[in-house]
Chain A
Amino acid sequence: MTKEELYERLNEVFRDVFDDEDIVVTATTTSDDIEDWDSLEHINLVNAVEKEFGVKFTMAQVTGMKDVGEMVDIILATKNQ
């Protein structure tokens, strides 16, 4: 899977979870950029991302993520293991 394909699928997950078809995520997107992205929705998002890519984040990974780019790096690293 290329990074581009990954972003495309990730975008769909964001659109589903936040029920907003206009969302476009990039590496620098953070919770400040999406109105509904609060700590409670974050759980849902992480959960949906895990299911989409068939990965399971550790607590350390989830607590360490600063933006979407870091999330993508973790997904790629886990998938390529």
Chain B
Amino acid sequence: MKELEYPFDSEYILKKAKSLKRTLLSDGSTRIVKRIAVLGGSTTHDIIKILELFLLNYGIEPVFYESEYNMYWQDAMFGNEELDSFSPDMIYIHTTGRNISEFPDITDSKEVIDAKIESVFSHFTEMWEKLQEKFGCALIQNNFELPDHRLLGNMDGSDMHGRVCYINELNRKIAGYISERDNMYLCDISYLSAVYGLDKWSDPFYWHMYKYAVSMPAIPTLAFNIANIIKSVYGKNKKALALDLDNTLWGGIIGDDGVDNIVIGQETSMGQVYSEFQTYIKSLKSLGVLLTVDSKNEEENALAGLNRPDSVLKPDDFLAIKANWEPKSRNLTEMAEFINIGEDSFVFVDDNPAEREIIRQSNPGVAIPVMDKPEEYIRALDRGGYFEVTGLSADDMKRNEMYIANAVRKKAQSSFADYGEYLKSLEMEAEIAPFADLYMARIAQLTNKSNQFNLTTRRFSQNEIEAMAEDPAYITLYGKLTDKFGDNGVVTVVAGRTEGDILHIELWLMSCRVLKRDMEKAMMDSLMDACRDRNIREVKGYYYPTAKNGMVKDFYAVQGYELISSDEEGNTVWSRDVASYNRQNEYIRVVGNE
């Protein structure tokens, strides 16, 4: 919904919150339900109300628990029946400078100040540990905004007695703590309030009138930021950029002006603007964002522009380059198919408002930042939070290479007459083993991100995955696939619960980047081996249909299972016996976890 995309109109959102919610709820889209506990150190009513809108817009339907006013610590430390039975998927702790209980006095010695910092910090660490122990779910924690006033003026920032100095130290400690944990995320209100304007952010009117530590007009900015973290954790980040060329990656029209006359490079101020923007895009690529070109141009001209020595981005940086005279909406659809990601994983970057409007109408779900002034391009993309990073996995950073390798495989495939020959030529090797510590984060990420090849679409947190791995009632398997073009990383996850001599498959998913590679056959072989080891006689498979997993509707039938029941919603239950199972995998060499 355009109203909820950056740069949004906060006043409008606040005023129209109720009707926006109505519209979102009636748009017929399917959403994942997440239980979110908001523990506040000040009023949180409207933060929750606006957060709900942004989350609904991201395809997440939140159910909230809200602590009583300023009861965040009590709720966490001493328990609360309502919160305990709520069993949150995620906890957001909304504390601010108003919750700092001790500040330095001007006569304090260094020891006293250190003790105060330690006391304030341990108030928080105790709470985090308690919450982690009790709920084992993800935590989002605010740091602190800078103080409203400075007793020591500028020296407040350099002298240990100053509040600026003190808060900076606390923020460093919070960041240090969070950076060492997988399951905890910083909501950086120190940065947000600076961007927003600290005076407006901390407007004392809202504190004294309503005990809002963050002013009402700033609430959409805060809520959007929280929503970005949450949607990123649940795998709803964008994955790719579709970039226009003329007046987007460089100044001028290359077809008219000629390759020598486009504006890029260090010679002119506008050239520097475009160079900085290209450098920013290149940094996004190093985070794993996939780059593509969607431009109305002769391909030859597009390549000439990108091949200029002063172009930061080179043709090789792009997974696909569509420079032609087709509608951009069609190019985008084709690139999505080629890369094998959804169209709604794209961010469309184009300076032309007419092109943006066409994409808005014909490619729903594509994010379309407003790119009006070249000097603000970076900000327009950056603040949109499309690629909010909540964990830097090695897989993310290698994603571009993997997709490029996939494109090479596709080309290789067309040169083989027989598909089996092609598979053989890939020289595939799979590592299939029970869930291992090294891969817990990736496994949890896959359960939250995979939508298409996913039989049950059950989402798990890392803690839940770890618990499953330790539970003797479970058989767990991950699969990692390597071939001669490269390492695909962990691409498939299977987990089943044993009950007597029956195994119930609760989770079976696979990343679409390894479709049609027989990896599922190798996984089924390994699962059946594990069953035999445990004297399991029968395996039951479950398929729960969603809007996106139609491709695996007949998965169990293809795997030789027998349909034993189905209901009117299309849920199906399948069964097969272990004894009569014959190995299926012919092309993948399987090894255990060595």
Chain A positions within 8 Å of B, measured between CB atoms, are: 13, 16-19, 39-40, 43-44, 47-48, 51, 58-59, 62-63
**Residues 165-223 of B at the A interface (beta carbon under 8 Å):** 205-206, 208-210, 212, 216-217
* A44 pairs with B16, CB closer than 8 A: no
Q: How far is the CB of A75 from chain B (nearest CB, A)?
A: 17
* A43 pairs with B11, CB closer than 8 A: no
Report the interface size class on chain B.
10 to 19
Closest to A16 in B: B15
* A18 pairs with B18, CB closer than 8 A: yes
* B205 pairs with A44, CB closer than 8 A: no
Interface presence of B582 (CB below 8 A): no
Q: Are A47 and B14 CB-contacts (below 8 A) given A40-B46, A59-B205, A59-B209?
A: yes
Name the one of A13, A17, A43, A63 contacting B216, with C-beta atoms under 8 angstroms. A43
For A39, what are the chain B residues with a Cβ–Cβ distance below 8 Å? 210
* A51 pairs with B209, CB closer than 8 A: no
CA distance A43 to B11 in the complex (A): 13
For A47, what are the chain B residues with a Cβ–Cβ distance below 8 Å? 11, 14, 216-217
CA distance A13 to B210 in the complex (A): 20
Closest to B43 in A: A40
Q: Are A62 and B209 CB-contacts (below 8 A) given A13-B15, A18-B18, A43-B216?
A: yes
CA distance A51 to B217 in the complex (A): 10
CA distance A41 to B99 in the complex (A): 24
Name the one of B16, B18, B22, B208 contacting A59, with C-beta atoms under 8 angstroms. B208
* A16 pairs with B16, CB closer than 8 A: yes
For A43, what are the chain B residues with a Cβ–Cβ distance below 8 Å? 46, 206, 209-210, 212, 216
A-B contact pairs, 8 of them (CB 8 A): A13-B15, A19-B18, A43-B210, A47-B11, A48-B14, A59-B208, A59-B209, A63-B209
For B16, what are the chain A residues with a Cβ–Cβ distance below 8 Å? 16
Interface presence of B580 (CB below 8 A): no
For A59, what are the chain B residues with a Cβ–Cβ distance below 8 Å? 205, 208-209
* B11 pairs with A51, CB closer than 8 A: yes
Q: Are A19 and B46 CB-contacts (below 8 A) given A59-B205, A59-B208?
A: no
* A48 pairs with B15, CB closer than 8 A: yes
Summarize B's interface: helix, strand, loop or mixed: helix
CA distance A62 to B45 in the complex (A): 19
Name the one of A16, A44, A62, A63 contacting B46, with C-beta atoms under 8 angstroms. A44
* B19 pairs with A44, CB closer than 8 A: no
Q: How far is the CB of B138 from chain A (nearest CB, A)?
A: 28
CA distance A63 to B14 in the complex (A): 21
Summarize A's interface: helix, strand, loop or mixed: helix
Q: How far is the CB of A1 from chain B (nearest CB, A)?
A: 20
For B11, what are the chain A residues with a Cβ–Cβ distance below 8 Å? 47-48, 51
CA distance A18 to B217 in the complex (A): 18
**Residues 524-550 of B at the A interface (beta carbon under 8 Å):** none
CA distance A43 to B216 in the complex (A): 8
For A51, what are the chain B residues with a Cβ–Cβ distance below 8 Å? 11, 15
* A44 pairs with B209, CB closer than 8 A: no
Closest to B215 in A: A47
For B45, what are the chain A residues with a Cβ–Cβ distance below 8 Å? 40
CA distance A17 to B43 in the complex (A): 19
CA distance A18 to B14 in the complex (A): 11
For B209, what are the chain A residues with a Cβ–Cβ distance below 8 Å? 43, 59, 62-63
Q: How far is the CB of B318 from chain A (nearest CB, A)?
A: 44
Q: Mark B7-33, 1 if CB is under 8 A from A, else 0.
A: 000010011111100100000000000
* B15 pairs with A44, CB closer than 8 A: yes
* B22 pairs with A19, CB closer than 8 A: yes
Closest to A44 in B: B14
Closest to A51 in B: B11
CA distance A63 to B18 in the complex (A): 25
CA distance A44 to B19 in the complex (A): 14
Q: How far is the CB of A9 from chain B (nearest CB, A)?
A: 13
Closest to B21 in A: A19
CA distance A43 to B217 in the complex (A): 11
For A40, what are the chain B residues with a Cβ–Cβ distance below 8 Å? 43, 45-46, 210
